[in-house]
Amino acid sequence: MCGIYFSLSTNGSVLPNEETCNLLRNRGPDSYQVHTTQQELSLNHTGQTGAVSVTLTFISTVLSLRGDHVYAQPLVDSSTQSVFCWNGEAWKIAGEPIQDNDTESIFQLFLRATRSSSDAVDREDPVRHIAGVISNITGPFSFVFYDAVNSRLYFSRDCLGRRSLLQGLDESGSLRICSVCDSSSSSHFEEVDTNGVHFIDFEQDVLQNALVSGAVKFNLDAIQTLRWEHKDSTTSCLRSPISYMNKSVPNGTPPSLTIDSCPIQELERRLRQSLHLRIQKVPDPPSTTISDMKVAVLFSGGLDCTLLARLSHDILPKNETIDLLNVAFENPRVAAAAAGKEGATSSVYESCPDRITGRAAFAELQRVCPDRNWRFVAIDIPYTETVAHRDMVKRLMRPHNTEMDLSIAYALYFASRARGIALNSRDSSSEPTQYASPARVLLSGLGADELFAGYARHGVAFARDGFGGLIDEIHLDVSRLGKRNLGRDDRILSNWGREARYPFLDEDFVSYVLEAPVWEKCGFGVPEPSETTEVDYTGIDPEKKALRLLALKLGMANVAREKKRAIQFGSRTAKMEKGRTKGTDALS
């Protein structure tokens, strides 16, 4: 995880204010570096010819999780003066796993792409070469790359939007691109669109004169976009890594799904592959006496996160502890309602739905995997603490600004802080103790609901329009993943110097799930297995049925039957104050 800041200005180097610098350092505590360079631009928008010097300022902070040492950024090529800021995890390039540092590998590929086309007559060649490199990257990313050879600036996010990057103009007309909203600018910041690779050609007109003030400002129309095309396209130079969705409907009644069905076996294999990339070779956390743990799970006790924890057990060495981060909030509205009930004595935290399911799933993991030390971290957040951090959470999630955004962000913010009361499964007889997890890698189950039809509206769509309606609803969810909330979540989760990893959103895994017929993913319209089977399939809901059957196969019968619950209701961050606010209402 890294922090990126870039500015393009005619008024010298434009730096972020102290607050933004601190947020960038929070994202990348291992390195902070600034690099500036100059570019001469022609200015002829008003019919007058001339030139103006602009300053390009690059800042990178680094959370080092790849390679054997800290690779400080920005990377600068000594021979061409090209500059690279990278925030991502390139798990594979052209299908081959990267063994060393991914930042250096991507930079060298970009440099090779710019040099190989520097003598070409066709000005489009460098863009196509850069796009070809990006098309071959598997993993989440955002980046800013200055091609000094061809006088271009590239910036982008991956097509699923798993890493944050925002853009905006300040009052003087300087362009800013940043991992977080730069509060030193009063102008609007917006998320960089995930529809393709954006670039600025400095040999074209990128500046404009303000007629009243005479100031020279950046021209937003100068930003060009090379759009993602389908992965099987033979003509496009920027190919999406995501497959088309299989929209076929069954001819008759589809076959039953069981834990021994081929689709469930293949699902397990594919999910293990995705998870293996994300939790192997994680370096030891720095400056800590706890050397037996590196990975934590954002853990509600629900199906998706518990499945990731269970599979992680099979991949990680047995001597490593896995932290299970479970957050619960004091909600005054809920507490007041409970206080009025006779005999209400339970803890406001222990009565939270996610705390109840979290402890139950913790017990099931101990039963199924007794040779692993599981550390359950109960993160209890008093209402006063929620209020104290409100402004910071709102600051991080910007430009998102609704009540629902805030309630979800609260849960992610405090869960990723990872401070609470810890209970070790290998020492359950001892008293729980105060604990702060040193884990720098956080596993999240995000994406499972969209891919495997986990929301109630998927059932509504099937009841209304059958398989066709169900397929359309899943397709809508997947198609808008890159435009929804992953950028917000990245800004929140990375604030504590940790990196969220999403095994369900691995490009190869997403493509595999999309290519599978819908009746192999969920149980709508699929008959129950024969009653003669030795496995008890009762109570397995149709939502995400394939994942539920995989949990059942792995010995987690209770987790396989766990109901879907939104994070803001499970942790009780929704509707903390009395009133009639809706989740879609804008914050004041």
- Identify whether the C-beta of residue 86 lies closer than 8 Å to the C-beta of residue 27: no
CA 483 to chain centre: 12
Which two tokens mark 318? 């047995």
Give the CA diameter of the chain: 86
What is the C-alpha to C-alpha distance for residues 315 and 280, in angstroms, rounded to an integer? 8
For this structure, is 2 an active site residue?
yes
Instruction: Of 304, 577, 571, give the one whose Cα is nearest residue 411.
Output: 571
User: In degrees, to the nearest 5, what angle opens at C-alpha 373 toward C-alphas 369 and 378?
Assistant: 110
Strand partners for 435: 420
> Within 179-285, where are the H helices?
262-279
Residue 308 CA, distance from chain mean position: 16
Nearest by Cα to 501 from 413, 447, 442, 446: 442
Q: Which among 89, 113, 17 has a CA at the least distance from the CA of 59?
A: 17
Question: Where do the DSSP E strands lie in 130-278?
Answer: 137-138, 141-147, 152-157, 166-169, 175-178, 189-191, 196-201, 207-209, 216-218, 223-227
CA distance 191 to 168: 9
Q: Give the residue among 1, 57, 68, 66 at the shortest CA–CA distance from 29.
A: 1
Tokens of 259: 């834990």
Residues in the chain: 588
- The 3 state secondary structure assigned to 281-302 is CCCCCCCCCCCCEEEEEECCCC
Order of strands across the sheet that contains 166-169: 31-42, 51-62, 2-9, 175-178, 166-169, 189-191
Neighbouring residues of 44: CB distance < 8 A, sequence distance ≥ 6: 50, 205
Collapsing DSSP to helix, strand or coil, 586 comes out as strand
Q: Using DSSP, state whether 428 is helix, strand or coil.
A: coil
Amino acid at 424: N
Q: Which helix (H) or strand (E) holds 339?
A: helix 332-339
Number of H helices, E strands in the chain: 17, 24
- HSE (side-chain half, CA atoms, 13 Å) at 434: 0
Residue 545 three-state SS: helix
Catalytic residue chosen out of the listed positions 2, 85, 159, 305? 2
Using CA atoms of 118, 98, 134, 508 in order, give the dihedral in degrees to the nearest 10: 160
Measured CA to CA, the distance from residue 309 to residue 235 in angstroms comes to 42
Q: How many CB atoms lie within 10 A of CB 238?
A: 21
How far, in whole angstroms, is CA 102 from its chain's centroid?
18
- Report the C-alpha gap between 547 and 493 in whole angstroms: 25
Cα 224 from Cα 238, distance rounded (Å): 14
Q: Which residues are the active-site residues?
A: 2
